[in-house]
Structure 1
Amino acid sequence: MAVTGIFSAVIVGLVIGVIARLLIPGRQNIPLWLTIVIGIVAALIGTAIAGALGVAATRGIDWLELILQIVLAIVGVLIATSLYGRGRSKVT
């Protein structure tokens, strides 16, 4: 993967992570950096899955690939939200 490809993945992942977080109702008690990392990972995995399925072979915006990436990011944020708060005690 070229440097431009990595840079593009980071930018797309950042946007996808934020979109996923906005689509989930309620408050997510995870830091923003974790949301961005989840978005980047979801973008890379979604691109790999779309490529394996032949979805990413079109010109222009690959809407199915984008939807797949957002769904993966939503699942990732939900999992991180459920795991991140465990083991931390709230001081009141």
Structure 2
Amino acid sequence: MFWTILGWLLFGLIAGFIARALVPGKDDIGFLQTILLGIVGSVVGGFLFGLLTVGFRGFEPAGWIGSVIGAIIVLVIYNKVTGRKRRSRT
């Protein structure tokens, strides 16, 4: 059980950091939010993958690519909702 939770935290951290690196601009989110971003992104990626391929089978985590894609989607939505990362128009 401990190793499963630790694995999810590490997986979420890596997927979240990759998503933050791929989305342009500075993110003002912390370490725990990055982990949460990666974990939620994995679930979103698994959901989207299920819809596009074999049909919806419930909330399942995705692999690395699906997790990063899901985390990017979650991060972009988060930035839009909170109004972060507005580009200056100079």
Structure 1 and Structure 2 fold alike (TM over 0.5): yes
How far does residue 77 in structure 1 lie from its aligned partner after superposition? 0.6
- RMSD of aligned residue pairs (Cα, Å): 2.8
Structure with greater Cα Rg: 1
Structure 2, unaligned runs of 5 or more: 55-61, 85-90
Residue correspondences, number: 75
Alpha carbons of 1:83 and 1:4: their partners in 2 closer, same or farther (altered >3 Å)? same
Alignment of 1:1-80 (within 5 A): 2-28=1-27, 30-32=28-30, 33-44=32-43, 46=45, 65-80=63-78
Q: Normalising to structure 2: TM-score of the pair?
A: 0.63
Q: TM-score, normalised by structure 1?
A: 0.62
Task: Determine if contact 1:13/1:39 at 8 Å carries over to the other structure.
Answer: yes
Structure 1 residue 31, shift from structure 2 partner: 1.5
| Alignment gaps of 5+ in structure 1 | 55-63, 87-92
Identity over aligned residues, as a percent? 31
- Distance apart, 1:14 and its partner CA: 0.6
Give the counterpart letter for 1:78 in structure 2: V
